[in-house]
Structure 1
Amino acid sequence: MSDKVDFVEGSHGIAFIEGPSTALSWLTILPIKGASAFDRITGRRVICSVPFVGMVYGLLAALVIATGVALGTSALLIAVLAVVAMELFGRFMHLDGLGDVADALGSYAQGEKARSILSDPHIGLIGAGAGLLSLLAQVASISALISSELPFWQLMLAVIAGPSIGRLGVLFVCHNRYAPMRPGGFGAQIIGTVLTWHIVAWLLGYALLFALIALISLGLATALLLTLVLVAVAGALLAAHCNRRFEGLNGDCCGFVIHLCTTIALVLLAM
């Protein structure tokens, strides 16, 4: 995510169509036409659609895993290919945000000094380390899920759920209690646009889905619910910490939280 996109006037379509389509256009390599307007209405619709985009990431990973399992490939190699597929699908966008924010937070700087490190396009040792370790954690988690004795359908659900639940964290970053770091750019279009009821709606939607899964597998539903709760807590804490250190939030903070919360979700599901 970047702060290089500025506001553009235009008309808006139906929210339930414009939000997901624009989110897929912004956050994936799919050649989908998004909104023609770039403003805070578009930003809110996109951010509220990000968990849905996470399901698409999860479906892609599940397809890679299903193919690898059918071919008898080793769990480790399948997991590596699944993570590579997800990163390529999103142009390493969230990993870039992770590296930038990790460098800024790792500097222990505050305010403007921290923001200057955040805006530096060169990745430092802390950012590189954070990226490497998070990717290793994702690979290890998916490999553990594949190697477990889970029925195949439960494995597929867990893999799809991980990236989707993980992306719930970005709603906390963009909650209206926070302000954008700068008045222009991409961050100003999304930070502060999400209302509390948007988060509650997603939480209730997940809970209802998990209740249905509980009718078939109580263990899987419990694991998914615990993962949801802990990811929500992590997203809220990470958003508050970034805001305290940077005195405002931007698109990189969104990528940072998305990547970390997705990693946390996959680790928790594997455990």
Structure 2
Amino acid sequence: MPEASLTDGVRLALTTFTTVPVRAGRVDRSAAGTAMALAPAVGAVLGVLLGGVLLLAGALTAPLVAAGVTVGVGALLTRGLHLDGLADTVDALGSYRRGPAALEIMKKPDVGPFGVVALVVVLLVQAAALAELAARSWPALLAAVVTATAAGRLAVGVACRRGVPAARPEGLGALVAGTVEPVALVVGALAVALVAVAAVPDRPWQGPLAVVAALAVAGWLLGHVVRRLGGITGDVLGAAVEVVTTLVYLGLVLSG
């Protein structure tokens, strides 16, 4: 991979998935493919930051309050874009419309009842899971948060793999659709699964299983979305991030 392409991809990944103030580089499908492949790495860095917030806040206040603060910081560090994408996607699916009619609903600036319910459920589950994780040892806590945030961004690569079309001829979906190579997905999945082993030390199989199960659900949902909308959009990518992140958190706190 040319150095310029890698640099542009890193910049695009940071500006797409975080609020890090970096100078924008070249934006084309080559850079987009690199950015989407690097998404899990960006998620891992974000997970380290959020894990640190949870540890610090947990030392100062109650676990549930610390969890709520951590969820809020996560939204701030990502501009709330993934949450917005989740709400728009669920509203479009809840309308039972297809193709352009459903895409038109996603463009509307307001949030409908389906979107509101989806946001409430996702935020509540994430906060409850983080509150439970706050009681664990700091290495397990950190591994769990990194696993969930990295897996959520790995779902973006799954959505951008070869063979998945864009729903529109313009926008983020058109830029990134079909840009991620299978090798990048395999490497990302193995890296996330390796970190996941440390998330539940007494049951080392639980973390990787949670990741696999969450990605399997995301793959099924992605197929449904593509059939309804005709392909992926930037909102669909945001929804994939939040769905997988939430499912992994849930899988990590389930009792054996």
Q: TM-score, normalised by structure 1?
A: 0.87
Question: Cα–Cα, structure 1 residues 179 and 33, in superposed 2: closer, same or farther, change >3 Å?
Answer: same
Distance in 2 (CA, whole Å) between partners of 1:208 and 1:75 is: 27
Q: Does 1:55 align with 2:44?
A: yes
Which of 82, 92, 95 is 1:104 aligned to?
Answer: 92
* Cα drift, residue 14 of structure 1: 4.0
Q: Unaligned 5+ residue runs, structure 2? A: none
Q: Is the 8 A contact 1:22 1:33 kept in 2?
A: no
Q: Does 1:28 align with 2:18?
A: yes
* Cα drift, residue 16 of structure 1: 4.3
Question: Cα–Cα, structure 1 residues 139 and 33, in superposed 2: closer, same or farther, change >3 Å?
Answer: same
Distance in 2 (CA, whole Å) between partners of 1:238 and 1:90 is: 23
Which of 167, 183, 188 is 1:197 aligned to?
Answer: 183
What residue is the counterpart of 1:183 in the other structure? 169
Q: Larger deviation: 217-226 or 172-181?
A: 217-226
What residue is the counterpart of 1:68 in the other structure? 57
Question: Cα–Cα, structure 1 residues 163 and 228, in superposed 2: closer, same or farther, change >3 Å?
Answer: same
Which of 218, 222, 238 is 1:235 aligned to?
Answer: 218
* Cα drift, residue 19 of structure 1: 2.6
Which of 253, 257, 262 is 2:236 aligned to?
Answer: 253
Deviations 1:23-42 (A, max 9, x none): 1122211112242x221111
Which of 1, 5, 8 is 1:18 aligned to?
Answer: 8
What residue is the counterpart of 1:128 in the other structure? 116
Q: Aligned residues: percent identity?
A: 32
Letter in 2 for 1:251: G
Deviations 1:106-132 (A, max 9, x none): 111122221211222221111111111
Distance in 1 (CA, whole Å) between partners of 2:238 and 2:253 is: 23
Runs of 4+ aligned residues of structure 1 deviating over 6 Å after TM superposition are none
Aligned residue for 2:205, secondary structure, equals: helix
Q: Unaligned 5+ residue runs, structure 1? A: 1-11
Which of 155, 159, 164 is 2:150 aligned to?
Answer: 164
Count the aligned residue pairs: 253
Q: Is the 8 A contact 2:6 2:31 kept in 1?
A: no
What residue is the counterpart of 2:128 in the other structure? 140
Distance in 1 (CA, whole Å) between partners of 2:231 and 2:77 is: 29
What residue is the counterpart of 1:8 in the other structure? none
What residue is the counterpart of 1:173 in the other structure? 159
